[in-house]
Amino acid sequence: MDMLHLKQILSILVLLLHWACAAQPCFSEKELQNKADQKFRSHYPQPHEPPVAPNPGHCPVEWFSQSPRDTSTSNRSLSPWIYESKQMADHFPFTYVQAKCLCDGCIQFNKDGPFQNHIFNSVAVYQSRIFLKREPCKYNSTYRLTPVAENVAVACTCVNPKRVS
Tens of pLDDT, residue by residue over 89-102, are 999 999 999 999 99
Q: In terms of residue numbers, what domain contains 124?
A: 25-159
Average pLDDT over residues 13-27: 61
The span from the first CA to the last CA of the chain, in angstroms, equals 44
Does residue 10 form part of some domain? no
Does residue 122 form part of some domain? yes
Does residue 39 form part of some domain? yes
CB 96 within 8 A of CB 127: no
Does residue 37 form part of some domain? yes
- The larger pLDDT score, comparing residue 88 to residue 72, is at 88
38, containing H or E segment: helix 29-42
Q: Please report the pLDDT score of residue 141 as a whole number.
A: 84
CATH number at residue 87: 2.10.90.10
Domain count, the chain: 1
Average pLDDT over residues 82-87: 95
Average pLDDT over residues 76-100: 93
Does residue 42 form part of some domain? yes
Is the pLDDT assigned to residue 23 strictly greater than 70? no
Does residue 125 form part of some domain? yes
Instruction: Give residue 69's pLDDT band: very low, low, confident or very high (50, 70, 90).
Output: low
